[in-house]
Amino acid sequence: MRLPVVALVGRPNVGKSTLFNRLVGGRQAVVDRAPGVTRDRNASLGDWCGRSYYLVDTGGWYPGATGGMEARIGEQVAQALQECDLVLFLADAREGLQALDEEISQALHRLSPRPPVLLVVNKVDGEHWEAHAHEFRGLGWEGLLPISAMEGRGIGELLDALVAALPAGGSREERDAGIRIAVLGRPNVGKSSVTNRIVGAPRVIVDPQPGTTRDAIDTPLRWHGRTLWVVDTAGIRHHWDRLPAFEFYASLRSVRALERSQIALLVLDGTEPVTRQDQRIASVIEESGRAVLILVNKWDLVVKETQTALEREREIREDLPNLSYAPVLFVSALTGQRVSRIPAQAVALYEESRRKVGTAEINKALERAVEQTPPRGVRGRRRPRILYATQVRIGPPTFALFVRHAQSIAPEYLRYLARRFREAFGFSGSPIVFRVREATGRTAKRGGKRR
C-alpha cells in the first residue's frame, strides 16, 4: 500500500527544515539562519503511533514569483503539493503575520483538489508567544497548532493531529527501508541531472551555477517491486575550512548521506580529466566501504573514435586506483543515454556486497592463491603463514584472516588476495576487507587441521 505524503510549506526562514529534522528524528536537512538555504524537495520516512508517512521539506515559497531561483523553487513546491495527502503550513510567531503568509494561504485555498491543511505556528517558545500565534487564525484554517521546532514544544500534539489527518494505510509494517543510493561528485558534474533522470521527474533543481544543491535530497523510487532511495548530494568542496557555514555543513551532510547509504554513484565529468577533487571524493567513498559505480556523465559532448570509451576508462583506472574494483558506466543525463541501466546495476552491486560465502569455499580459493603466490612478508621479519579465513560480515564483504606472524604480512599481498577472491566470488563494485589476526594456541591448531 502506498504511504501517505506530508508536504511542509511556508515562506523562507520560518523553520521548515528545523521542523523537518525534528519530525524525522535526525539532522537530515541543512539549517541556517540565512533564508533560502533549502531549495529542493527533501523526503524522509516518518512515523508516529504506528502510522508511517513520507515527510517532504520544501524551499521558501513565493507564490507570485515569475523568474529566477524563487520561481524554480515554486515549481518544486507545486509538485510537492500535487503529490501530497496533507499539508503542514508553517508560519513564524515571532515575526507575526506577513503579507507573504497571506499569499501562501490564498494559494493553498485555491488548490483543486485541495488536500487537508494544518496551520502550524512555529517559534512559540513560551506562553508569551502563544498570544502572537492567534493572529494567524484570520487566514481561515480550522484549528491552529503552536509549536517550537527548536525546543520540541507542542511536537507531540502536532504529530497526533498529523496522523489523525492522514488517509487510511501506512502502518509501520508496510515501510520498506529499501536501498539507499548516494549520488556524489564535485560541484557541477551533473549529479542533480543524473538524479532527475533516474527517478524520471525533475525532483531536484538543476542550474548551470555550481552549488545549486545544498542539501542531501532523498527521493524514493519504486523499481521492479523494490524501493530505492536516490540521494542527491551537494558537491563536496576541496577546502572545507574556507566555506560559508551552510556550504560547510552541506558538504558534511553529503558525507553523512554516504554513510547511511549502501551504494555510491561517483559522478565524473566526461568532458574533463579526473581532478584532485574527484580523487578526494573517491577516497571518501573507499574509506566508507560502500559499493560504488562510477558514472562518466556528459558523454554526449565527447567527440568519439573507435576506442574512446576504452581509453577513457583506462585513464580513470590510472587516476583512481583505489576504486579499481568499481564498474564504469558512460552516461548522459541530458539525453538519457544509458541512465536506465543505473538502477539495475545499483541493485546488482547491492546484492554482490551482501553475498555470503561458505568457509570451505573461501579456504579452497585461499589455498589456490597461496600456492600460486606465497606471502613473502615484510623485510626483516619472519615469513607469515596463512592458516585459514572465514567471512565475518557483509556490506562490505569482510574476512578474518588467521596468520602466524601476522605482523609480517604486507598490504600488497592483501590486495593480491582481494583480486583472487574477486575472481572466485565476484563482489563486483565492493571493496574486500581483510581483518588479519594472529593465529595462536587453539586458533593455530584449528588452522592446522583445516590445512
Question: Looking at residue 441, what is its pLDDT?
Answer: 59
104 and 48 both lie in a single domain: yes
User: Looking at per-residue confidence, does 108 or 126 come out higher?
Assistant: 108
123 and 189 both lie in a single domain: no
User: Looking at per-residue confidence, does 130 or 391 come out higher?
Assistant: 391
Closest among 15, 120, 103 to 58, alpha carbons compared: 15
406 and 332 both lie in a single domain: no
Q: Is the pLDDT of residue 153 over 50?
A: yes
Question: Looking at residue 237, what is its pLDDT?
Answer: 57
- What percent of the chain has pLDDT above 90? 53
Closest among 331, 353, 334 to 342, alpha carbons compared: 331
39 contact partners, CB below 8 Å, separation of at least 6: 59, 69, 72, 73, 76, 205, 212, 213, 214, 215
Question: Looking at residue 37, what is its pLDDT?
Answer: 43
419 and 371 both lie in a single domain: yes
What would the pLDDT profile of 426-436 be if each residue is shown by its tens digit?
999 999 999 99
Bridge partner residues of 437 (DSSP): 402
Closest among 5, 29, 145 to 82, alpha carbons compared: 5
Question: Looking at residue 94, what is its pLDDT?
Answer: 92
pLDDT band at 424 (very low <50, low <70, confident <90, very high): very high
Q: Is the pLDDT of residue 410 over 50?
A: yes
Q: Which amino acid is at 247?
A: E
83 contact partners, CB below 8 Å, separation of at least 6: 5, 7, 56
Please tell me the least confidently modeled range out of 155-164, 209-218, 264-273.
Answer: 209-218
50 and 167 both lie in a single domain: yes
Strands 226-232 and 328-330: unpaired
Place of cell 485555498: 109
Q: Is the separation of the CB atoms in 80 and 10 below 8 Å?
A: no
Q: Is the pLDDT of residue 247 over 80?
A: no
66 contact partners, CB below 8 Å, separation of at least 6: none
Grid coordinates representing 196 are: 532527475
Domain count, the chain: 3
197 and 170 both lie in a single domain: no
32 and 104 both lie in a single domain: yes
With b for 16 or more beta-carbon neighbours within 10 A and e for fewer, the 218-232 pattern comes to bbbbebeeebbbbbb
Q: Is the pLDDT of residue 331 over 50?
A: yes
Q: Is the pLDDT of residue 175 over 80?
A: no
User: What CATH number has the domain bearing residue 287?
Assistant: 3.40.50.300
User: Looking at per-residue confidence, does 444 or 331 come out higher?
Assistant: 331
Q: Quick one: average pLDDT of 156-162?
A: 95
pLDDT band at 271 (very low <50, low <70, confident <90, very high): very high
Q: Is the separation of the CB atoms in 90 and 56 below 8 Å?
A: no
Cα 67 to its chain centre, rounded Å, is: 30
343 and 366 both lie in a single domain: no
183 and 111 both lie in a single domain: no
Q: How many CA atoms lie within 13 A of 88 on its CB side?
A: 32
327 and 378 both lie in a single domain: no
Angle formed at CA 320 by CA 269 and CA 282, multiple of 5 degrees: 75
Domain boundary residue, one of 174, 192, 213: 174
96 and 40 both lie in a single domain: yes
Helices (H) then strands (E): counts for the chain: 13, 15
How far is CA 427 from each of CA 47, 94, 126, 417, rounded to the nearest angstrom?
35, 55, 56, 13
- Count the Cβ atoms, other than its own, within 10 Å of residue 372: 9
User: Looking at per-residue confidence, does 382 or 293 come out higher?
Assistant: 293
Task: Pinpoint the alpha helices (H) of 84-215.
Answer: 99-109, 127-133, 155-165, 191-199
User: What CATH number has the domain bearing residue 383?
Assistant: 3.30.300.20
Between CA 326 and CA 405 the distance in angstroms is 32
Between CA 342 and CA 180 the distance in angstroms is 13
With both helix axes pointing from N to C terminus, report the angle between 191-199 and 342-353 in degrees, rounded to the nearest 10: 90
DSSP string over 369-383:
HHHHS----STTSPP
Strands 5-9 and 51-57: parallel
pLDDT band at 364 (very low <50, low <70, confident <90, very high): very high
Q: Which domain holds residue 431?
A: 359-450
What would the pLDDT profile of 342-360 be if each residue is shown by its tens digit?
999 999 999 999 999 999 9
Domain boundary residue, one of 329, 353, 377: 353
How is the beta sheet containing 398-404 ordered, strand by strand? 385-393, 398-404, 433-438
Q: How far apart are the first and last CA of the chain?
A: 53
Between CA 194 and CA 309 the distance in angstroms is 19
237 contact partners, CB below 8 Å, separation of at least 6: 186, 187, 243, 247, 251, 277
Grid coordinates representing 427 are: 563482489
With both helix axes pointing from N to C terminus, report the angle between 359-372 and 411-425 in degrees, rounded to the nearest 10: 120
Domain boundary residue, one of 150, 174, 198: 174
Between CA 96 and CA 377 the distance in angstroms is 72
Closest among 429, 449, 426 to 439, alpha carbons compared: 449
Cα 121 to its chain centre, rounded Å, is: 30
57 and 157 both lie in a single domain: yes
Q: Is the pLDDT of residue 73 over 80?
A: yes
